[in-house]
């Protein structure tokens, strides 16, 4: 049976961010890299909400026949967590890359005041926020910045809505890149700093892949191998 791998990128990224990962995946994995609403160049972003992002991925899942494994990177992890809540009977595993599901009512950044969109910050600003660019060479950084698209602000400040307890029974793999698993384990609970539900999962596996926050750019082949391993578990 075909395994459908749905790859959801984080802020500022489209499906293109997964290109090198998809190229390194083994045969038998049907990859579906997602560009979320408002993340196309030139798209209008002021009216795009979290619900729009969740609906786009849920609709994709609904159209697939066979096993579905969801992969969420960074802010895409919150989207994956909500989709698991909507379709716990359709998702065989959720894989979070330097990310995790958020608890009900949590927002990625409720303090955002921009009207329509969140531009990609400077590398220095990202590093100060804990988003390391370790392992990404200058050419790849230049391509990242050239192709990055401002993120819809309502997605950043909108609260997550989850309510189905069956979501905790969907197996979870966390691929830890910028934060070691031994550190993350101490923070995998509701409330600050991450407001995550990871610790509530009944089947939770941690994998360490040391690099920065964007392993699809810094270690794509290694990331593909870990995703494939988790998807086949």
Report strand pairing: 204-208 vs 91-97.
unpaired
pLDDT level of residue 115 (50, 70, 90 thresholds): confident
- What is the longest distance spanned by two Cα atoms in the chain? 46
What pLDDT does 208 receive?
98
Q: Check whether 1 has a pLDDT greater than 90.
A: no
Q: What is the CATH number of the domain that holds 17?
A: 3.40.50.1820
pLDDT of residue 129: 87
pLDDT at 28: 83
Domain ranges, residue 208: 3-231
- The confidence band for 61, taking pLDDT boundaries of 50, 70 and 90, is very high
The pLDDT score that the predictor gives to residue 92 is: 97
* Secondary structure (DSSP) of 183-205: HHTTT-SSSTTT-B-GGG-SSEE
Contacts of 168 (CB under 8 A, 6+ apart): 197, 200, 201, 202
Give 130's pLDDT tier (boundaries 50, 70, 90).
Answer: confident
Share of the chain above pLDDT 90, in %: 92
Lowest-confidence region among 85-94, 121-130, 140-149, 156-165: 121-130
- Lowest mean pLDDT, pick from 5-9, 109-113, 117-121: 109-113
Is 91 within 8 Å of 8 (Cβ atoms)? Answer: no
Residue 34 has pLDDT above 80, yes or no: yes
What is the enclosing helix (H) or strand (E) of 147? helix 138-147
User: Are residues 197 and 168 in contact, defined by beta-carbon separation less than 8 angstroms?
Assistant: yes
Question: Taking residues 21-36, what's their average pLDDT?
Answer: 95
Question: How far is the C-alpha of 130 from the C-alpha of 164, rounded, in Å?
Answer: 31
**Mean pLDDT, to the nearest integer, of 9-23?**
98
Number of other residues whose CB lies within 10 A of the CB of residue 19: 12
Helix, strand, coil percentages in the chain from 3-state DSSP, rounded to 5: 35, 20, 45
State how many domains the chain has: 1
Question: Between 76-86 and 50-62, two packed helices, what is the crossing angle to 10 degrees?
Answer: 60
What is the phi/psi pair of residue 97, to 5°?
-105, 110
Q: How far apart are the first and last CA of the chain?
A: 14
- CA–CA separation, 223 vs 35, rounded Å? 19
Choice between 115 and 164, residue whose per-residue pLDDT is larger: 164
- Position 113 scores a pLDDT of 87
Interval 46-73 mean pLDDT? 97
| Beta pairing class for 3-8 and 67-73 | parallel
So what's the pLDDT on residue 2? 78
Distance CA 69, CA 67 (A): 7
To the question of pTM greater than 0.95 for the whole model, the response is: yes
pLDDT at 21: 98
């Amino acid at each position: 049976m075909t395994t459908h791998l749905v790859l959801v990128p984080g802020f500022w990224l489209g499906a293109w961010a997964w290109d090198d990962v998809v190229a390194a995946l083994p045969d038998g994995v049907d990859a579906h890299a997602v560009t979320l609403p408002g993340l196309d160049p030139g798209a209008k972003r002021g009216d795009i909400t979290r619900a729009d992002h969740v609906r786009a991925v849920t609709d994709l899942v609904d159209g697939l026949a066979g096993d579905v494994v969801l992969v969420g990177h960074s802010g895409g992890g919150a989207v994956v967590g909500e989709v698991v809540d909507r379709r716990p009977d359709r998702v065989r595993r959720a894989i979070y890359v330097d990310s995790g599901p958020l608890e009900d009512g949590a927002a990625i950044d409720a303090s955002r005041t921009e009207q329509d969109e969140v531009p990609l910050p400077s590398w220095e600003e990202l590093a100060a926020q804990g988003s390391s660019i370790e392992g990404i060479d200058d050419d790849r950084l230049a391509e990242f910045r050239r192709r990055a698209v401002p993120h819809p602000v309502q997605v950043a400040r909108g609260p997550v809505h989850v309510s189905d307890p069956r979501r905790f029974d969907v197996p979870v793999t966390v691929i830890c890149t910028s934060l070691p698993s031994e550190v993350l384990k101490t923070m995998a609970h509701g409330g600050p700093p991450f407001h995550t539900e990871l610790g509530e999962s009944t089947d939770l596996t941690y994998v360490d892949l040391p690099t920065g926050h964007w392993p699809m750019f810094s270690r794509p082949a290694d990331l593909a191998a870990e995703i494939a391993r988790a998807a086949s578990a």
